[in-house]
């Protein structure tokens, strides 16, 4: 099977990075207005109730699939699913941030989304350091 193709979730991509900030600071940024605008394109707060709809500024719609404060957000984004998660790093001032997207249409879309998420990670890191 090609890299990035799974039996259950189709094409998927994940990126992670250790950010030199406490977990709470990273979580508050990625779920706050500036962070949500950066990675999701949402203007305003994201609903936290499972099944709640949201819409991005470019018109892409989705719904919340799971929201665990201080841990992860899982949501649909068009036909795909995106998960953003934070985990403790090797010390209190380090946090592992992960973006994962599954149910992508093809290898080309996977490559596009990989570049997108790497760019998002660069911008998040720049904002937090």
At 102, is the pLDDT very low, low, confident or very high (cuts 50, 70, 90)? Answer: very high
Boundaries of domain holding 57:
5-128
Give Cβ neighbours of residue 15 (< 8 Å, ≥ 6 apart): 98, 99, 100, 114, 117, 118, 121
Rounded to an integer, the average pLDDT of 23-46 is: 95
What pTM was estimated for this model as a whole? Answer: 0.92
Q: Which tens digit of pLDDT belongs to each residue from 73-82? A: 999 999 999 9
Residue identified by tokens 């991509």 is 13
CATH of the domain at 100: 3.30.530.20
pLDDT of residue 129: 84
Q: What is the mean pLDDT of the chain?
A: 94
pLDDT over 90 (residue 34): yes
pLDDT over 90 (residue 72): yes
Query: Number of folded domains in the chain?
Result: 1
Structural tokens at position 2: 């090609």
Give Cβ neighbours of residue 49 (< 8 Å, ≥ 6 apart): 64, 67
Q: Which tens digit of pLDDT belongs to each residue from 3-25? A: 778 777 789 999 999 999 999 99
Rounded to an integer, the average pLDDT of 48-77 is: 96
């Amino acid at each position: 099977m090609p890299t990035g193709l799974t039996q259950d979730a189709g094409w998927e991509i994940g990126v992670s990075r250790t950010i030199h900030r406490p977990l709470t600071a990273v979580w508050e940024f990625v779920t706050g207005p500036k962070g949500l605008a950066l990675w999701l394109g949402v203007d305003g707060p994201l609903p936290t109730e499972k099944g709640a709809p949201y819409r991005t500024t470019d018109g892409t719609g989705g719904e919340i699939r799971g929201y665990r404060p201080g841990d992860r957000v899982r949501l649909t984004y068009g036909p795909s699913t995106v998960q953003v998660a934070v985990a403790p790093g090797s010390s209190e001032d380090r946090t592992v941030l992960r973006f994962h997207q599954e149910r992508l249409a093809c290898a080309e879309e996977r490559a596009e989304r990989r570049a997108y998420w790497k760019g998002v990670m660069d911008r998040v890191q720049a904002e937090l350091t």
